[in-house]
């Protein structure tokens, strides 16, 4: 199921925002080059809020323990458990659309 999270303009380039989608908390990041990524909102290591992390290109650094993740694949670049990623796209009117399993919202 595809869920509309809001306008792309609500997330400045280089930042992320967290959204509640049903029972899931999803983080959406907008890279400085305009690419959009969606992942789980908490770091799998210690539960840190990933939207407070440092975003560089498609790499995110967790704010708590500096774990690095590839936002395209979810791969943990510093070892350990990776991130759950979600398919994300923009509508014709620049709304952020995220695909989640099940009812989502």
The domain ranges of the chain are 2-99
Q: Kindly report the pTM of this predicted structure.
A: 0.92
The CATH T-level fold of domain 2-99 is Rieske Iron-sulfur Protein (2.102.10)
E strands, 1-105, are: 2-7, 15-21, 24-30, 36-40, 54-56, 59-61, 68-70, 85-86, 88-90, 95-99
Using one digit for the tens of pLDDT, what is the confidence trace for 24-71?
999 999 999 999 999 999 999 888 999 999 999 999 999 998 999 999
Closest alpha carbon to 47 in 67, 28, 30: 67
């Amino acid at each position: 199921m595809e869920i509309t999270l809001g306008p792309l303009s609500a997330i400045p380039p280089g930042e992320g925002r967290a959204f509640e989608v049903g029972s899931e908390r999803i983080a959406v990041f907008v890279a400085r080059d305009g690419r959009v990524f969606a992942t789980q909102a908490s770091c799998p290591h210690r539960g840190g809020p990933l939207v407070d992390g440092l975003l560089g290109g498609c790499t995110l650094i967790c704010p708590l323990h500096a774990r690095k993740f590839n936002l395209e694949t979810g791969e943990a670049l510093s070892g350990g458990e990776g991130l759950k990623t979600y398919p994300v796209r923009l509508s014709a009117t620049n709304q952020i659309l995220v695909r989640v399993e099940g009812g989502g919202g």
